[in-house]
Structure 1
Amino acid sequence: MKAEDNLLKKVGTENPFRVPEGYFEGFTSDLMSRLPEKEKNDVRREPTTWEKVRPWLYMAAMFVGAALIIRVASPGDSASEGRQQQMAAEDTDVELEYISTAIDNTMMDDYSLYVYLSDESAE
């Protein structure tokens, strides 16, 4: 700490660097006038085929992705609906066969069956 105090006494705390009066007032304009003119390069390059096609390709990919998400997220797809309809038709065929067999075994004529069914529906 003593060595640091000695240095401060020898050198002092004043800033030894000075800037002339009004130096920064015209600094930017003076500096710009000293710089050489830069050549303007107005060469426009033609976009490549990939750069032209890329936005359309991205949009097509987005629509394909959206269609896949909707297809996966939809509750009933046509394949499973077809299978369900086929199974329902088979169940109906089995039920009709069972009912036909049961009616034949009851030994009822058509009129008795009609009366029986109309009595049940009336209740």
Structure 2
Amino acid sequence: MNFSRHITRQYATGRGIIEWIFVCQIAIVSSANAVYTVLMQKHTWREETEEGTKFFRATHHGGRWTYATQMRGEDEWTQSDPIQPEEWQEIRDMLWNKYQRGRCPWGFIEKIDKILAKENQK
């Protein structure tokens, strides 16, 4: 399907104005029977540790992942650059749970599996 033409047609008929605004930033990721429009996705979760509650944030934007952590009560997020293999596994597990509930495209999991496979070869 020619997505630009589809968006233009929707715009011309008065529908899809939001999609038209982002037409230059659109990436299509297919998953099973659904098609997702992916711009920037931020995934957050938390875990209880001995020190207290630890927050995690994985952000996908422009084909690049960032990963940050923060303890409850802290003001700043601690960025992890580069992302370590155990952190990739945490992101993958979280995305797998979201995928099972239909809240994440399969393409994200495939990309992280490739990254983990590359890391395991090292």
TM-score of the two chains, using structure 2 as the length reference: 0.17
More strand by share: 2
From the CA coordinates, give the structure whose radius of gyration is larger: 1
Which of the two has greater helix per residue?
1
RCO higher in structure (CA 8 A, sep ≥6):
2
Q: How high is the TM-score relative to the length of structure 1?
A: 0.17
